[in-house]
Amino acid sequence: MTYPTGPLRMLVLGLFVVTGVFLVLWTWSALGHRAPSGQALRYFDRQFLERASERATWYYLALALRNAFVFGTAFVLVRSGFIVGATENLLTRAGASTHSGVTRAFIGGAVASFLWLLAVSVASLPFQYYTGYYLERLYGLARMTAGQWFIDYGKSFLLTALVTVLSGGVLTLFIAVQPRAWPYLAGAGVLVLSLMLSYLYPVLVAPMFYRFRPLEDPDLLRDVQELARKAGIEVSQVLVMEASKKTTRLNAYFAGLGKTKQVVLYDTLLSEASREQARLVLAHEMSHYKHNHVLKSVILSSAGALLAFMLFAWAFARSFPGPSVRGTPGTTAPPCPVTILVMLLLFLSLVEFVTTPAGNCISRQFEIQADLDSLAWTGDVQAFLDSQVKLARGNLSDVDPPAFIRWFAWTHPTTLERLELALRDSAFDGGD
């Protein structure tokens, strides 16, 4: 059995309770009747709002079921000791039991991490297919076939598995070799890994899923130069992603660190938006570029991971104090490093879920800053309003989601919030 005891058990149970409360509130919010608000009807017709709300409701319910099923699966895996038992069995069959403690800890952590990822992925796959393909196809947002979706899913799983296996092996090694200092080593490892992945994503990962080409529109290139001058930055790359082969969604994003920084526009956005609207989107993404939002997000998430490691280590030390100096009987011997890793994986999964609102609150502040910069640099409030309406229509967005779901899951302000932000900002500036 790998289920934690003592203070660590109480901490995990508390996280499960909070998780359950959040899932109940989420489901209740998703099922609540929502008539289109007067504010929403100022910008969108009733038919669009009802269709977008219908799609969102099914999406929200699927997410609630996925999380409930995944956390239930994780609990069973840990409570039954299946992951640890299967890992020990595989190590014995492979002859790894004869290796040194350090080597065995690394291999054991790698195997246990993979088994954990595999189990959780299998549990969530039906829900991911439903939300990521079926609903997208049903509401006209996806152009890819089911086969193409599974190919992309397989690529994503293999990449995730590679990172998970290496991370799990190294983390278990830290636990085995440095039982007191491992939280700090793990926190530093998360920071290094996050920086590396953020740096490599635009040049290594994204091209595995989409094709990219340089932005060639001469008018937009001139806009890039003008906006870069106003922002006081140098933009090395503006790329167009050939998203239209897989989706009808309109989008843009900023990614990368250092020399790999790039602003990316979907080709669907360029084909649907006017130059003024595309210019607003460019300005928004260039604000992320200017303010190093990717780097700040990495640092903040790594700091959060460090705090989680420290909290787990504190609770663990009080749950498994080990023998005293005089060898007082009755103390609890600590479990093996692989068992500790499995407990930690469950703990981190719960912490990540319950702290989602905090991370998303920070993300929304970054997005508000980028919106305000785009308005300041372009001075085109009407184009901002038009672009937000077009993006919402193109993505069939829930422009006015339930309050709890918005608080918990929204990484961006809602469409209505962004529209009102632009109007307030223009009024504050005297309507210029």
Single out the residue of 364, 386, 384 nearest to residue 429, CA to CA. 384
Which range among 28-37, 355-364, 419-428 shows the weakest confidence by mean pLDDT?
A: 419-428
What pLDDT is attached to residue 328? Answer: 43
Residue 317 in contact with residue 214, Cβ under 8 Å? no
Amino acid letter for position 197: L
Amino acid identity of 19?
T
The pLDDT value given to residue 3: 67
> Which among 336, 412, 397 is positioned nearest to 172, based on CA atoms?
336
State whether residue 217 is helix, strand or coil: coil
Alpha helices by DSSP H, listed for 264-336, are 267-272, 275-290, 293-319
Top mean pLDDT of 53-57, 76-80, 271-275 is at 53-57
Token pair for residue 238?
A: 């503006």
pLDDT (tens digit per residue) in 297-340 = 999 999 999 999 999 999 999 888 754 434 444 445 678 899 99
End-to-end CA distance of the chain: 67
Q: Find the mean pLDDT for residues 174-201.
A: 96
Question: Do 215 and 112 meet the contact criterion of CB atoms below 8 Å apart?
Answer: no
Q: Whose CA is closest to 179, among 312, 351, 371?
A: 312
Task: Give pLDDT, residue 34.
Answer: 80
Which of residues 402 and 5 earns the better pLDDT score? Answer: 402
Find where tokens 């005089």 sit: 326
What is the rounded average pLDDT of the residues 47-62? 96
Amino acid at 350: L
Edge-first strand order for the sheet with 212-214 is: 212-214, 238-241, 262-266, 252-255
Could you give phi then psi for residue 217, rounded to 5 degrees? -65, 115
Residue 401: strand, helix, or coil: coil
Beta strands in 134-234 (DSSP E): 212-214
Q: What is the pLDDT of residues 101-154, one digit of tens each?
A: 788 899 999 999 999 999 999 999 999 999 999 999 999 999 999 999 999 999
Choose among 391, 404, 424: nearest CA to 43. 391
Rounded-to-integer distance, Cα 127 and Cα 57, Å: 14
Cα 222 from Cα 25, distance rounded (Å):
48
Classified as helix, coil or strand, 140 is: coil
Answer yes or no: is pLDDT of 188 > 60.
yes
What's the whole-model pTM score? 0.91
Mean pLDDT across the chain: 91
Question: Is 98 a residue whose pLDDT tops 80?
Answer: no
Q: What is the pLDDT of residue 103?
A: 86
Average pLDDT over residues 389-396: 94
So what's the pLDDT on residue 326? Answer: 40
On the question of pLDDT at 23 being above 70, the answer is: yes
- Quick one: average pLDDT of 259-272? 92
The least confident of 79-83, 240-244, 329-333, 396-400 is: 329-333
Q: How far is CA 154 from the centre of its chain?
A: 18
Q: Which pLDDT band holds residue 241 (cuts at 50, 70, 90)? A: very high
Q: At 132, is the secondary structure helix, strand, or coil?
A: helix
C-alpha–C-alpha distance, residues 284 and 273, integer Å:
15
pLDDT category at 429 given cuts 50, 70, 90 is low
